[in-house]
Amino acid sequence: MIKQVFYFATASMLLFSVACTQAPDAPKAEAGAAQPSAATTTDAVNYKVNATSSLVNWVGTKPTGQHTGTFKLKDGSFLAVAGDQIQSGSFVIDIASLNNTDQSGEDKQHLEEHLKSADFFDVAKNPEGKFEITAVKPFTPDPNQKAIEGATHTIEGNLTLKGVSKGISFPAVVKIDPSGTLTAQSNFNINRKEWGMSYHADESLKDKFIRPEVNIGFSIVAAK
């Protein structure tokens, strides 16, 4: 069973109405051009994502507050070999399942509807997102760069949101136990504008300003 927690820090791509003075303190996943899929070897073992046990968390911020929420996963799989080595893999994010967890009633409904609108994810046209691994490397500490505590690997991959694919990388904690369970954890911030979500991202809007940085966390479980 694989459990991957690509913990897009406390939160996912949201950018929406969201948090306090600034995004949570987390590694910054700079967006670049999408890259080719990762190569695999013949001895790699396939792990199927358990969509029921998997989740994507998100946190969005603005000067006057924050919002948190989740996305469910639809499916996915990973190829891995012994020694904590993920070789390749991908998973599909159910954007239509967007759930706001810090509000209730009409406020919750209004925020979810706005985030699903063309101002943000445009769920009507893009009901799914995707993350595809392009490379996995041993983590090398950098005193000038924030990293998740206990990071073991650097994950590189293409993140697709709103029909836009961008290459990103982030530190992660990856482990495979003797029973065959794989866990991976990470958290980082992305800039939503890179994926075509620029709504109220201009600081001149003052109290209506929504920070472009979004904190994201993946928690994924998969099994042989």
User: How many residues are given for the chain?
Assistant: 224
CA distances from 25 to 152, 171, 196 (A): 19, 14, 23
- Enumerate helices (H) and strands (E) in the chain, giving the number of each: 1, 11
Give per-residue pLDDT as tens, 30-72: 999 999 999 888 889 888 888 998 899 999 998 889 999 999 9
Strand partners, 92: 75, 130
Which domains are delineated in the chain?
Answer: 2-223 (2.40.128.110)
**Residue 9 scores a pLDDT above 60:** no
**What is the value of pTM for the model shown?**
0.86
In eight-state DSSP terms, residue 89 is E
From CA 169, how far away is CA 32, in angstroms rounded? 9
Nearest to 60 by CA among 51, 68, 52: 68
Joined tokens for residue 166: 């961008």
Give per-residue pLDDT as tens, 176-216: 777 877 777 788 899 999 999 999 999 888 878 999 999 99
